[in-house]
């Protein structure tokens, strides 16, 4: 994360060009860190004040030097698509959690192991599906699979989410 600030006397055109350029860079480069993803929107909102001041200045008068090219407005630049990045990340996190085994694997649900016995990849499926291999007979709030007892044909332990599924083979 870094903070940049431009100082100097600006004409209307140069000031608008500077704000557009710096905001465009923030849109593209400002999201790549946890702190930056929080500070970046605040910084871009703070840029609105200087932009309004620059818009209130008179047009540049002829003289030595040439005003900067303000370029395209921000909403016509490709960098504006990065404004969608936080929404995409949040949506992916929500969708990822909705499809998790923990959320759907309740007692009575049917599951299939798409992995191996040593590296299981348990997915919830419809019980009428031909893919259904096991039925969840109990869900424990611990990783101690011995609590399933002898009634379970198999177990699935999720150590990250701290739960165990006791499974009965569907015949």
Q: What is the pLDDT of residue 166?
A: 92
Q: What's the rounded Cα separation, in Å, for the pair 154 and 168?
A: 7
Last residue of a domain, one of 60, 77, 96: 96
Say if 132 falls within a structural domain: yes
Q: What is the pLDDT of residue 58?
A: 86
Strands (E), 85-133: 110-113, 122-125
Query: Does 107 lie in the same domain as 76?
Result: no
Query: Does 91 lie in the same domain as 32?
Result: yes
Last residue of a domain, one of 45, 64, 96: 96
Q: How many CB atoms lie within 10 A of CB 129?
A: 10
Query: Does 110 lie in the same domain as 89?
Result: no
Number of domains in the chain: 2
Q: Please state the pTM of the whole predicted model.
A: 0.48
Angle at 25 between CA 20 and CA 31, to 5 degrees: 130
Query: Does 115 lie in the same domain as 78?
Result: no
Q: Which residues pair with 110 in a beta bridge?
A: 125, 135
Say if 2 falls within a structural domain: no
Q: What is the mean pLDDT of residues 23-31?
A: 83
Q: What is the pLDDT of residue 100?
A: 56
Strands (E), the chain: 110-113, 122-125, 134-140, 154-158, 163-169
Angle at 67 between CA 63 and CA 73, to 5 degrees: 155
Query: Does 22 lie in the same domain as 76?
Result: yes
Query: Does 58 lie in the same domain as 126?
Result: no
Say if 143 falls within a structural domain: yes
- Domain span holding position 41: 12-96
Query: Does 27 lie in the same domain as 87?
Result: yes
3-state secondary structure 131-155: CCCEEEEEEECCCCHHHHHHHCCEE
Highest mean pLDDT among 8-12, 47-51, 63-67: 47-51
Last residue of a domain, one of 96, 120, 155: 96
Query: Does 39 lie in the same domain as 64?
Result: yes
Sequence-separated (6 or more) residues with CB below 8 Å from residue 7: none
Please write the tens of the pLDDT for every residue from 96-141: 766 555 557 888 999 998 888 788 888 888 899 898 999 999 999 8
Query: Does 113 lie in the same domain as 163?
Result: yes
Query: Does 154 lie in the same domain as 133?
Result: yes
């Amino acid at each position: 994360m870094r903070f940049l600030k431009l100082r100097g006397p600006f004409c209307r055109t140069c000031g608008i060009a500077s704000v557009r350029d710096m905001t465009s860079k923030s849109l593209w480069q400002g999201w790549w860190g946890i702190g930056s993803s929080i500070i970046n929107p605040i910084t871009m909102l703070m840029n609105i004040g200087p932009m309004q001041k620059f818009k209130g200045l008179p047009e540049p008068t002829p003289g030595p030097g040439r005003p900067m090219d303000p370029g395209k407005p921000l909403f016509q630049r490709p960098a504006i698509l990065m404004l969608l990045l936080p929404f995409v990340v949040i949506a992916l996190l929500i969708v990822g959690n909705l499809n998790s085994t923990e959320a759907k694997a309740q007692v009575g649900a049917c599951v299939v192991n798409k992995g191996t016995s040593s590296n299981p990849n348990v997915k919830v499926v419809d019980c009428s599906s031909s893919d259904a291999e096991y039925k969840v007979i109990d869900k424990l709030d611990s990783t101690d699979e011995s609590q399933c007892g002898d009634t379970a044909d198999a177990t699935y332990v999720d150590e990250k989410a701290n739960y165990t599924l006791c499974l009965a083979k569907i015949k």
